[in-house]
Structure 1
Amino acid sequence: MAYDVDAVRRQFPALEEGAAHFDGPGGSQVPDVVAEAVASTLTSAISNRGTVTVAERRADAVVTEARQSMADLLGATSQGIVFGRSMTQLTYDFARTLAKGWGPGDEVVVTRLDHDANIRPWVHAAEAVGATVRWADFDRETGVLGVDDVAAVLSERTRLVAVTAAGNLLGTRPDVRAITDVVHDAGALAYVDGVHLTPHALIDVIGLGADFYVCSPYKFLGPHLGVLAAEPELLETLRPDKLLPSSNAVPERFELGTLPYELLAGTTAAVRFLAGLVPGEGSLRERLAVSLAELDEYESVLRERLETGLAKIIGVTVHGSPDRPRTPTVLFSVDGVTPGEVYRELGERGVNAPAGHFYALECARWFGLGDTGAVRAGIAPYTTESDVDRLLTGVDALARE
C-alpha cells in the first residue's frame, strides 16, 4: 500500500503526548495545517464578505473555497453546501423549516440505529405540528438496519425519512441507496446523517440518493462545524426563519449570522489534507478518491487486527456482526467490569477508548446495552498497529484481573 502512517502521524502535534487515540468517532485529532489555516485566517485582515476592500474579498474567498472543498469531498454542488454550528443545529433548523409543510396525518420516520441528533429534531418538529413519528427498528443480533425495516413503516403519508449512513455506536452501514430508493418511491424525502461515515469513505451524495446529507468536519481532522449538502433547486423550495435584511439567496438564507471564517478555512485545509494522505495527481475529487481508498484498506486491516485480538480474550464481548459492512469502529464489553471502569483503566495506560452510548441512546437501549452502553474503539488515519496492540494488552490485563 502507498499509505505511510508514520508520515501522516508526523503532522499531528497532539500525538506527541504519546496517547493511543481511539476516540476519533467523537472527534479526531487535528493536523498542523488545519491549525495553521485557522490561526492565519484569524490573524489576517478580514471583514464581512464583500467585493470592495481586500478584507471583504478575502472573506468571500474563504467561504467560496470551503463550499467547493466540501462539494468535492461529498460529490455535491458547491451552491448546495450549507454551514452551521454543528450537525445537530443544522438538523434542528431544517426540521423546523420542513415541518412548516406538515400537519396532522403526515408521518416522519426515524430509526433506532441513529444518533439522537437525527432523531430528536424530527420528533420535536413532528410534535409541534401534530404529525406522527414512526420508528424503524434494526436487527438486534447483527446491528444491521435493512431496507425492509424502513419499508415496513412507510406509507403514502410519509413526508421524510431520517436515516444514518453508518451507526455512530456500532459502525454498521445500512444500504443507503436501497433505502433512499424506497423512500422516494413512497414520495418522501431522505435526510441522511453522514457524520460517522464521511471520515472513512468517499461520499457521493447524489449516488446515495440523499436529498439532504449532513456531516461534521471535526470528525475528519477539521474544526468544530456542521455541513449540509443538498441540491440548490431543493433548497430554493424551503423558507427558513431568518432576519429580514439577511440574504435570501441559496445557500446563504440558511446560514444565521456571520460565518466563522477561520473554521471554514480549517475545513478547506482538512479536506486538502485528506486528499494528500497518499501521493496523487488530478482534481481534488480525484485525489480524494485515491487517498480515501488507501485509507479504507489501511483502517480495515487494523479493525480486523483489533476484532481478532478482542475475540481471543476470555470475557470480552464484541458487539455487532464483524462480517457486515461497517466503519473501522469496534464496540465491546468486558465481563465483570463496567464500561466506565474499562475506559478509566485504559486511560491510565495511555489508551483513549471512551465508553457510553455516545448519544446513540435509542440504539444502545434497543441493542440491550441500556444507558450505560459499552466501550468504543475507533480507528483513525493516525492509528498504528502498536496502538491496537496497546489497547489489546490493556483489555487483556483487565479481563484477567
Structure 2
Amino acid sequence: MAYDVESVRAHFPALKDGTAFFDGPGGSQTPDVVAEAVAATLLSPISNRGDVTASERRADETVTEARSALGDLLAVDPRGIVFGRSATELTFMMARTLSSGWGPGDEVVVTRLDHDGNVRPWVIAAEAAGATVRFADFDPATGELTAEDVAAVVTPRTRVVAVTAASNLIGTRPDLPAIAAVAHDAGALFHVDGVHATAHVSVDVPAEGADVWVCSPYKFLGPHHGVLAADPALLETLHPAKLVPSTDVVPERFELGTLPYEMLAGSRAAVDFLATLAGDAAPGPTRRERLVASFSALEEHEERLLARLEGELRSHPRIRLHSNAARRTPTLLLTIDGIDPQEVRRLLAERDINAPAGNFYAWECSHHLGLGAAGGLRVGLAPYTSESDIDRLLEGLVAALQ
C-alpha cells in the first residue's frame, strides 16, 4: 500500500521549524486542514443547537458530522458516540454511573499495564461503593498481558473488566477479543482504553469485543477532547447524573453542557485526513473503507521505521528496551545505564528532537517494570515520522552515550 510521508508532512506547519517529534503518544502535531476546520467553525455564525435559525442548524450539523466521522473511524453506530472533555473524564463518568448499582461483594478488574486514566476511576468508584478491586498483572520481562492473566482475577462477582487496547508506555497490544470473552463469560462489562491504539491501528470496536471504547482525537491529529463509543442500546440502560432540563436522549444524556463545536469540526477533519493517508491506493467509495486502507498503509510505514530503530537500539549494550511484547504499537520505552532519562531528554532537545521522559501516567505499569515514578525515555512514531527523523534520533542517542 502506498504511503508518501513527504506529502503527509507537507500538511503539518509545526514541522517547518525542523523539530523531529517523537512525542506523539502524548499528543500529535496538527495538520493544516484540522486547524482550518477549527478556525472556520469559530468564525462562522453558530449558536446553540436547534432547527430554527441557520446558525442553530450549523451547530447541529457540526455535531452530526463529527459523530458520523468518529463512527466511521471506530466502526460503530454514530448514535453511540459520546463527546466529553477527555477520555479520562468520560471514564470517570462511566465508572460513577456503573458503580451506582454496586455494593459490597461486587468486584472490578483493572490491569497494571494501563494508563491511570483506566485504573483510578474504577478504583475510586469501587471504594466508594464498597466493592473490591482486583489487579491483573502483566509479565514485566515480555510486556505481555494475556487473557489468562485477566481470567486469573475475574470471578462471577466481576462487574467490569477495564483493559487498555495498547499501553501508552510500552506499546503492548493485548488480545482484546480473548479478554472480552473472559469478561463476558463472567457477565461483566468490558471497558477498553483505546487512546493509544486508535492513533496507530484500524479500530473495529465490535470486532474487538469492547462494550465501551474511549479515545482522544488529539492523539490522532485532532483537537483536545474525548470520545466514548458504545452500542446505543447499552447507553439506553445507563443513567448518569445530569441537569433536570437537559435531554435524556442517547447519546446527549451523557454530554454535560454545550459541546465544543469547533473541536468537533476539527475531529471530523482529522478523520477525513486520516482517510487520505493511502493516497490514490485507498479503495472503496466509503470513508470507512478509505480509513481501513489508510491505516494499513500507516502501519506498514510505522513498522518499517520501528524495525530499523529498534534494531539499532538493541545493538547498544547500555540501552535497555522495555517494549518487548510480540504485538505492539510503534512506541518504545528505553533507559540508558548510568544516565537519568530526563538528562537524555534534555540532550536530545538540544538537537531539536522531542522525546519526553517519565511514567506518562502509566503509574502501575512503570512501577511494575521496576522503574518507579521516573519511568524512562519514550519514543513514539507518528504518521509524519520520516527516515531522517530516525537518523537524527539515533545520532542523538549515540551522542548521549558518550
**Matching residue of 1:393:** 395
Report the Cα offset of residue 314 of structure 1: 3.4
Look up the SS of the partner of 1:101 in the other structure.
Answer: coil
Q: Distance in 2 between matches of 1:13 and 1:175?
A: 37
Q: Distance in 2 between matches of 1:390 and 1:320?
A: 21
**Matching residue of 2:159:** 159
1:255-266 pair list within 5 angstroms: 255-266=255-266
1:210-249 pair list within 5 angstroms: 210-249=210-249
**Matching residue of 1:294:** 297
Q: Is the 8 A contact 1:195 1:219 kept in 2?
A: yes
- Give the letter aligned to residue 301 of structure 1: R
Q: Is the 8 A contact 1:160 1:188 kept in 2?
A: yes
Question: What percentage of residue pairs aligned between the two structures are identical?
Answer: 63
Q: Distance in 2 between matches of 1:269 and 1:159?
A: 37
Q: Is the 8 A contact 2:191 2:210 kept in 1?
A: yes
Considering only aligned residues, what root-mean-square deviation do their CA atoms show, in Å? 0.7
**Matching residue of 1:348:** 350
- Give the letter aligned to residue 200 of structure 1: H
Q: Distance in 1 between matches of 2:138 and 2:323?
A: 11
Look up the SS of the partner of 2:100 in the other structure.
Answer: helix
Does residue 45 (structure 1) correspond to residue 45 (structure 2)? The answer is yes
Q: Distance in 1 between matches of 2:292 and 2:195?
A: 18
What is the TM-score when the length of structure 2 is the normalising length? 0.98
Instruction: Tell me whether 135-144 or 275-284 shows the greater mean CA deviation.
Output: 275-284
Report the Cα offset of residue 148 of structure 1: 0.4
Q: Deviations over 1:160-219 (max 9, x none)?
A: 010000011000110001000110000000000000000111101000110000000000
**Matching residue of 2:378:** 376
Does residue 197 (structure 1) correspond to residue 200 (structure 2)? The answer is no
Look up the SS of the partner of 1:326 in the other structure.
Answer: coil
Look up the SS of the partner of 2:214 in the other structure.
Answer: strand
Does residue 303 (structure 1) correspond to residue 294 (structure 2)? The answer is no
Q: Distance in 2 between matches of 1:37 and 1:98?
A: 36
What is the TM-score when the length of structure 1 is the normalising length? 0.99
1:1-400 pair list within 5 angstroms: 1-278=1-278, 279=280, 280=282, 281-321=284-324, 324-399=326-401
Look up the SS of the partner of 1:134 in the other structure.
Answer: strand
Q: Deviations over 1:223-272 (max 9, x none)?
A: 00100000000000001000000010000000000000000000000000
Q: Is the 8 A contact 1:311 1:318 kept in 2?
A: yes
Report the Cα offset of residue 312 of structure 1: 2.0
How many pairs does the alignment contain? 399
Q: Deviations over 1:121-174 (max 9, x none)?
A: 000000111000000000011011010000000111000010000011000110
Report the Cα offset of residue 397 of structure 1: 1.1
- Give the letter aligned to residue 366 of structure 1: H
Q: Deviations over 1:342-396 (max 9, x none)?
A: 0111011111000000000100000111110000000000000110111111111
- Give the letter aligned to residue 285 of structure 1: R
Q: Distance in 2 between matches of 1:30 and 1:381?
A: 11
- Give the letter aligned to residue 336 of structure 1: G
Q: Distance in 1 between matches of 2:393 and 2:333?
A: 13
The unaligned stretches of length 5 or more in structure 2 are none
- Give the letter aligned to residue 122 of structure 1: W
The unaligned stretches of length 5 or more in structure 1 are none
Q: Distance in 1 between matches of 2:161 and 2:182?
A: 10
Q: Distance in 1 between matches of 2:315 and 2:64?
A: 50
